[in-house]
Structure formats: C-alpha cells, structure tokens
Amino acid sequence: MSRHLPTRADLMADLRAFGAAGMKEWRLLRRYPSMFLGFLFWPIALPLAYVYQAQAYSGGQQAASDAFAARAGTTEVAAFLFLGWAAYMWISMILWGPGTSLRNEQVRGSLEALFMTPVSRLVILFGPVVSQVVWAIWMFAVVGGALTLFFGFRLSVLEAMRALGIILVAVPALYGLGALFAAVVLRFGEVGALVQTVRGIFTVFCGMTFPIIILPEWARGVALALPPTYLIGDLRQVLLAGADLASLIPELAVLLTLGIGLCGLAVVAFRRTERYARRGGSLAQY
Amino acid sequence: MTNELRAAWAVARKELLIARRYPLQLVTEVLQPLYQFLLPSLLLGATFYVGGRAIGLEASAGTDDLAGFLFIGIIVAGVVAAAFWDMAFGLKREMDSGTLEPMWLTPTRPDTTVLGRAISGMIVNSVASIILIAAGVIFFGAALGGALLPAVPVLLLATISMVGVGYMVAAGVLMIREPNFMVDATNFVFSTLSGVAFPIVVLPLFLQPIAYALPTTYAVDLIRHYALETRPLLDPGLEWAVLVAFAVGTVAVGRWLFLRTEHRMRVRGTTGQH
C-alpha cells in the first residue's frame, strides 16, 4: 500500500467526517433527555453547596471575609466558587468524553468497523468531542445566568468575550488530555480509576474552591504544571479582577504550549496504541 | 422471619463477594470523598482562616475544629450514599443484567433482597468510614476521639432510617428505569441539606424546614455536639427522640411504598423491562 500526502479532497472529506462524528454524538445525547436535566442541575447545585459552606466559614465575621478577600483577590465568593466548579465540570466531561465514546463503540461492536473506514484517526479521536464544546458553552452560560439571577453578578459583553477567549485557548490542552485518556481506553479497555485519580489531582491542586496561594510551595509547583490551574485562574482574573487578555499573555502562552504538547503526545500515543491493538487483534475485545 | 434474614445475609455476602472482585472500586470508596469533598472543603476553609483559626466557623457552628466538623459530615454522607447507591441503584444493575425478574421469582421476598444490598452497602461504608476517621485524626488533627462512643448508636439509628429512605428511592428506581440522574441528584440534595458540609442555619429560610425533615440532619448534629461541643439545633434529648421516630417511621413507610410499587409492576408485567 503506498502512502501519499493528503490532498485537498482528503482534507475536505476528513472535515465532513469530523462534522458527521460530532452530529452523531449530538443525536445520541438528544436521545437521553435526563442528561439535559443534569447539565442544568449540577452547574448550579454543586457550587451553590460550596457557597453555603463559605457562608458558614465566614460566619458573619468581617475578619474572616477580609482574610478570604486578601488571599483570593476578590470579595465575590459566589462567583469565585461557581467559576472553579464550572471548570471542574467541563474538565470532567472532557476526561470522560473521548475515552467513553471509544469504549461505547467497543461495547457496541462498532469500533473495529470504524477503524476500517479511510478517515483520519484524528477524526475518530477528536470528532466526538465537538458536541461537548456545545455543552461546555451551555454550562458556562448556566453558571453566568445563575450568578446574575441569584447573586446579582454583573457581566459585561467585553468580559464575557475575554472569558470565551480563555476557554478557546484552553481547548487544545484539555482536549489533548481527553484524547490521551482515549488512548488509554484503547490500550487497557477501562479508564474509570485513572479518570477519578486525575480528577482528584486537579481538584486538590488546581484551585477549584481556593486560591492556589494557600498551597505549600511544592504543591504550588505541581499546580503550575497543570492546565486547569491557568484556565481557572485566568477566568477569575478577567471576570472578577477586570484583567484584560494582554495582561495574561504569559499565562495564556503557557496554556497554549501545554495544549500543543498534550495534543501531540495524544496523537503519538493513539497511533502507537492503535498499532498495538491491530497487531494483537484487541480492537473488538472488551 | 429467620429465613428472610438468612436470605438477606446471603444477598449481602454475594454483593460483598462481587465488591471484592473490584479492589480499585473499594479504594475509590475512601479516596473519592477525600478528594471530591474533604480536601476542597478544608482548603476553602483555610482561605477564611484568621491567625490559623476558623473564627467564622466558630461563630456559625460553635467549633473551630474544621477537620473534625467535615470528617463527621462525610461519615453521615457515606450512610446516605450507601442507601441511595448500593441499596436503591443496585436494582438498576440487576435490571440491566436481566436478573431482577428471575430473582423475584424465588420464594424470597423482594424487600429482603433490597435489605441484603443495604447490609452489604453499610458494611463497606463502615470500613471506609473507619479508614476516613483514622485519616482525619492522624493527618488532619481532627479531634474525634470523644465522639466514637455516642456516635455508634446515633449512626445505627441513622442507618435504620436510611434503610427506610433507601426503600423509597428503590421504588423510584423501579418506576423511572433510567434513574441515574434521579439517584445522583437526590443523594446530593439529601446529604447537602442534612448539613454534612455546613451548619444548616446558613441555608435560606425556605430550605431549612426540609433539612429539619431529614433524619441525617439530627444524626450529624448529635455527633458533632458530642465530639466537638457544637451548638445543637434542638435539645439533644429531643433529637434522640426524633431519630428513634424516624427509624421506626421511615422503614415502615419505605417498605410499604416499595412493596406497593413492586406489586404494581408485577400486575402490569413490567418487572423485566428497563
């Protein structure tokens, strides 16, 4: 079989396949309406519980509230927590997303057939996550709505656009991570425990409920090596501290670099795993 | 009666045997509450510290032992989770694997099989709780030593109440058939409104009556009162009485509701559908 460089027609075909993969996932989601309830309930209920917890920690004591403001750089406790948990839920979706999608194909018996098609492996890897971008935007919109309605949080169009910019810069890093998990699924068949562990590390180090400044030095070092730290920190900067994107360029550059590295790593890992699975004939096994 | 208890114990042993086959899942029973609730809550609490003390929590709950406050909460949350997931959602797993209808064709009563699941769930939860308490005391300085003795009867009463609640949720699982979100969301709301993460006095006024209608609210409050000398919501004697009343009432109502739902499914012939 001879290899050739991808032509314009190949790229167009892959783009169409990419769109079709996203559309298929979207249709599957529509078949399970209870999931829509979840996407409305959790972005509000989970952070709200921590807002009440923060009220208990403050206890109406000005000194405690001042201590929070000094460490977090904002007095907007509710917005601080809602943004952290919104990022957590998005990351959860991404970590479960591509891997679960491949796993479902495996269980349904359609994974081997999918690999027989001539589409690029990038389509198989990243296609299903397109539909999840819609959910990510929806979730951040629910969080914005809840903050506005329940806590009187004011969000200007400019701030919303800046936040959207940060989300877009974070996309390669987070989806690269999700794709790496997909490669693990293909290799080992199950990814639940690993996802739980990584999610735990993110929750403890990346500042979902706290500013990373309160972590010990070594833990802060770990936090700064993880993409979600930058996503959460930068979102809080633009939405709660009024920072513009220009002032965040160094951090966004780190986030983008991590993204490019993770996507590259994911593609290499996926190709190797695919080769391993083809040779061992384990694509259809689960 | 003895036969039914033996059958319940057999179901519990079967569930424990299955659980042992997935050791990673058992590790998650301890790790998940730690990273998903305890550590984020402790770190959020540390953000409010003044001079190394939780003066805000002291004002709202009557103790500045943040770790002790949260670790007691997570133990009660474990009891709630066992009722919702192991007891009620376990039926969904039987439905999916197609074993629910054959199991109910045996002479064992359907509510006995659910009770068996409750026993296994509570055993796993007890082991996880002991490990979490040890971690709380050793690594986080939680002052829980004095709480252990009065906590046992309180947790026992709360567990009996939650068996009743588990029956009610199991009835819901039978009716809804795609119950993942229902179980997940109600479990979360039940735990949160019980005050596992914060004193319920910080809840809005319209939510507080719901919190007072949950047995676990009194369980978590009593244990904190004895262990950390927090201000109780009601007179402790009254809270004990309420807990006993819940233990009797929820089991009776829950079992009745579950058996009624199961009977309706038998009549309609929908037991095997999911």
Task: Dig out the tokens for B272 from the structure.
Answer: 């095997």
**CB A252 within 8 Å of CB A234:** yes
Which of the pair, A3 or A203, is modelled with greater confidence?
A203
- The answer to whether the CB atoms of A52 and B60 lie below 8 A apart is no
Per-residue pLDDT tens over the stretch A80-131? 999 999 998 888 888 777 777 777 777 777 777 888 888 877 777 777 666 6
Interface test with A, best of B30, B32, B38, B43 (most A CBs within 10 A): B43
In chain A, residues with a C-beta closer than 8 Å to the C-beta of B34 are 200
Residues near B194 by beta carbon (within 8 Å), at least 6 away in sequence = B76, B77, B80, B200, B211, B214, B216, B217, B219, B220
Average pLDDT in the B258-273 region? 84
- Residue B219 pLDDT > 70: yes
- Residue B49 pLDDT > 90: yes
pLDDT computed for residue A154 by the predictor = 85
- Which chain A residue is nearest to residue B180, measuring alpha carbons? A34
Residues near B12 by beta carbon (within 8 Å), at least 6 away in sequence = B116, B117, B119, B120, B123
Dist CA A210 CA B46 (whole Å): 8
Interface test with B, best of A52, A58, A195 (most B CBs within 10 A): A52
Dist CA B47 CA B37 (whole Å): 16
Residues near B14 by beta carbon (within 8 Å), at least 6 away in sequence = B116, B120
Across the interface, of A68, A71, A193, the residue whose CB is closest to B24 is A193
Which of the pair, A219 or B90, is modelled with greater confidence?
A219
Per-residue pLDDT tens over the stretch A14-57? 888 888 887 877 787 777 766 778 888 999 999 999 999 999 99
pLDDT computed for residue A3 by the predictor = 52
What is the band of A1 on the pLDDT scale with cuts at 50, 70, 90?
very low
Please give, rounded to a whole number of angstroms, the shortest distance from the CA of B34 to a CA of chain A: 9
Dist CA B154 CA B170 (whole Å): 24
In chain A, residues with a C-beta closer than 8 Å to the C-beta of B189 are 45
pLDDT computed for residue B274 by the predictor = 59
- The answer to whether the CB atoms of A203 and B47 lie below 8 A apart is no
What is the band of A4 on the pLDDT scale with cuts at 50, 70, 90?
low
**CB A248 within 8 Å of CB A242:** no
Dist CA A163 CA A281 (whole Å): 45
Helix or strand or coil: residue A34?
helix
Q: Which amino acid is it at B260? A: R
pLDDT computed for residue A2 by the predictor = 47
Across the interface, of B39, B60, B180, the residue whose CB is closest to A59 is B60
Residues near A126 by beta carbon (within 8 Å), at least 6 away in sequence = A18, A98, A175, A179
Per-residue pLDDT tens over the stretch B127-163? 998 999 889 889 988 887 666 778 889 999 999 999 9
Per-residue pLDDT tens over the stretch A161-180? 999 899 999 988 988 888 88
Residues near B36 by beta carbon (within 8 Å), at least 6 away in sequence = A200, A203
Interface test with B, best of A40, A42, A57, A92 (most B CBs within 10 A): A57
DSSP A226: S
Report the Cα A111 to chain-centroid distance in Å: 24
Across the interface, of A59, A72, A211, the residue whose CB is closest to B55 is A59
Dist CA B6 CA B164 (whole Å): 20
Question: pTM (2 decimals)?
Answer: 0.88
pLDDT computed for residue B246 by the predictor = 96
